Amino acid sequence: MAAADDLPRLRVTTHDMAYGPHAVARHEGKVLFVRGAAPDEDVEVAVREARRTFAFADTLAVVRPSAARRAPPCRYLPGCGGCPWQHLTYAAQLAAKQRVVAEQLRRIAGVEVEVAPVRPSPVEFGSRRRIKLRVDGGAVGFYAAASHALIPIDQCLLAEPAVDAAIAWSAELVRALDLPIRRVELLGGAAGGDGVVVVGEVEGAWDPAADAACRHWLAARPAIRGLVLRGRRWQRRWGDVQVAFEPEADLRLTAHAPVFTQVNPAVNRELVATVVRWVDPHPGQQVLDAYAGAGNLSLPLRRRGAEVVAVEQDRQAAADAEANAARCPGPPLRVVCDRAERAVERLASEGQRFDAAVLDPPRSGAAGCIPALLRLAPRRLVYVACDPATLARDLAQLKQRYRIDAVQPFDMFPHTYHVETVVRATLSCEKETPGVSSVRRHEPAEPKRRRRTRRRTL
């Protein structure tokens, strides 16, 4: 890669944020994705990678700062790639995310709908109950921007205090074990009391000789309640590996790490309240909850009398959902442990009928479920998405039979470009022309300096 002094330099004016870590500018008809810039400011940039119609660039100097710019409080910036929007004021982040959701729905789904202002996180910092760190050479941290070069850290302003304190301990674990640990996830809210559960992802086979070191490390750190190490087709646990989550203020559920739970507990409660209000559950109502996890949405709906079929492919998550239901009053919860697309297809083939369906898929979206869901045709549909591009792709198909009534984004992930969005749709008598069948990327992928690996999860 060329040295910074050898790269082409330009002076450009940015106009908005992309759905990604960049501001967007134009130069001689070419779109520039500029890392480190804010909307509506003049910047001097170095073009890092040029293509025919677009290019990636890095900010070298801010000539005229944006009103949205601020000095980021994190000491690891601008090197760390974990918080690419932290140089924007929080109000500017929220406004940009609202525009991003609206633009994705309009461009990909062909849906013109009012997008509500983004519901903010109650706190900007210290909001995340779980973080996932990369590992390299005995250090833990995040990758640098557009790179697989590790930025070692010993604190993260986004993490809850207990999770933040565990970062240094996780590095000690990595150094103590003679195992190729590639990622470490820290989960707060241990079910057995205030504390953290640590999950390490290991390449290769389990080494029984590491058992003693794991036990010693855990015993020496009372604030760490449990440890999970897992590799391909194996998993080992020490201590109490359950974490608690509260989808509602008076509803405490548990899940075994590393089962998915939302990272921002306060925002999750607001999101759950919106889903419950839009589904409007009541006794006798039939509700399908696809991608149900450990019951984050199923149990709040069920406790109001709805008869819920919860579909979840992860066996541990499905077992956790059943255990949570056994501790909570309400109608029987039917848990189907299967891939969502296969389970929904079977339900449609059996002639099942639902008054409402809830979708909360991973970032890849729910495309596999859409054909069967259109056949099931529940009167009301509530879709929870963490990626507005795949959400828009799926809505382009769903709008064949559904009218999009409301769109409410939530800032589950402050200081990143990620946004959680809840959409309410109602079955319509009219069949519109099918929308776009495949999603275009929100912005081109940046080149990597080293071998490709899976993208960091939220």
Whether residue 108 is found in the same domain as residue 149: no
Query: Taking residues 148-171, what's their average pLDDT?
Result: 97
The pLDDT score that the predictor gives to residue 434 is: 39
Q: Is the pLDDT of residue 457 over 80?
A: no
The reply to whether 3 falls in a domain is no
Looking up residue 22, the CATH number of its domain turns out to be 2.40.50.140
Query: Taking residues 127-140, what's their average pLDDT?
Result: 96
The reply to whether 448 falls in a domain is no
Whether residue 138 is found in the same domain as residue 29: no
Whether residue 288 is found in the same domain as residue 415: yes
Whether residue 190 is found in the same domain as residue 274: no
Q: Is the pLDDT of residue 441 over 50?
A: no
The reply to whether 323 falls in a domain is yes
Q: What is the mean pLDDT of the chain?
A: 92
- Peptide bond preceding 258: is omega within 30 degrees of 0, i.e. cis? yes
Looking up residue 149, the CATH number of its domain turns out to be 2.40.50.1070
The reply to whether 258 falls in a domain is no
Q: Are strands 307-311 and 334-336 parallel, antiparallel or unpaired?
A: parallel
Whether residue 116 is found in the same domain as residue 137: no
Whether residue 322 is found in the same domain as residue 357: yes
Distances (CA, A) of 241 to 41, 161, 228: 48, 19, 7
The pLDDT score that the predictor gives to residue 440 is: 37
Whether residue 340 is found in the same domain as residue 198: no
Whether residue 214 is found in the same domain as residue 151: yes
**pLDDT band at residue 334 using 50, 70 and 90 as cut-offs:** very high
Looking up residue 112, the CATH number of its domain turns out to be 3.40.50.150
The pLDDT score that the predictor gives to residue 430 is: 45
The reply to whether 443 falls in a domain is no
Q: What is the identity of the amino acid at 432?
A: E
**pLDDT band at residue 443 using 50, 70 and 90 as cut-offs:** low
Whether residue 293 is found in the same domain as residue 383: yes
Whether residue 144 is found in the same domain as residue 116: no
CA separation for the pair 318, 333 (Å, rounded)? 11
Work out the percent of the chain whose per-residue pLDDT is above 90: 88
Range of the domain at 19: 9-69
Whether residue 114 is found in the same domain as residue 144: no
The reply to whether 439 falls in a domain is no
Q: Is the pLDDT of residue 439 over 60?
A: no
**pLDDT band at residue 194 using 50, 70 and 90 as cut-offs:** confident
The reply to whether 397 falls in a domain is yes
Place of tokens 């004016």: 13
Helices and strands, number each (H, E), in the chain = 9, 21
The pLDDT score that the predictor gives to residue 95 is: 98
| Count of structural domains within the chain | 3
pTM here?
Answer: 0.92
- Peptide bond preceding 332: is omega within 30 degrees of 0, i.e. cis? no
The pLDDT score that the predictor gives to residue 444 is: 59
Q: Is the pLDDT of residue 264 over 60?
A: yes
Query: Taking residues 152-166, what's their average pLDDT?
Result: 97
The reply to whether 274 falls in a domain is yes
Distances (CA, A) of 452 to 33, 42, 111, 329: 21, 33, 34, 47
Annotated catalytic residues are 386
Whether residue 142 is found in the same domain as residue 183: yes
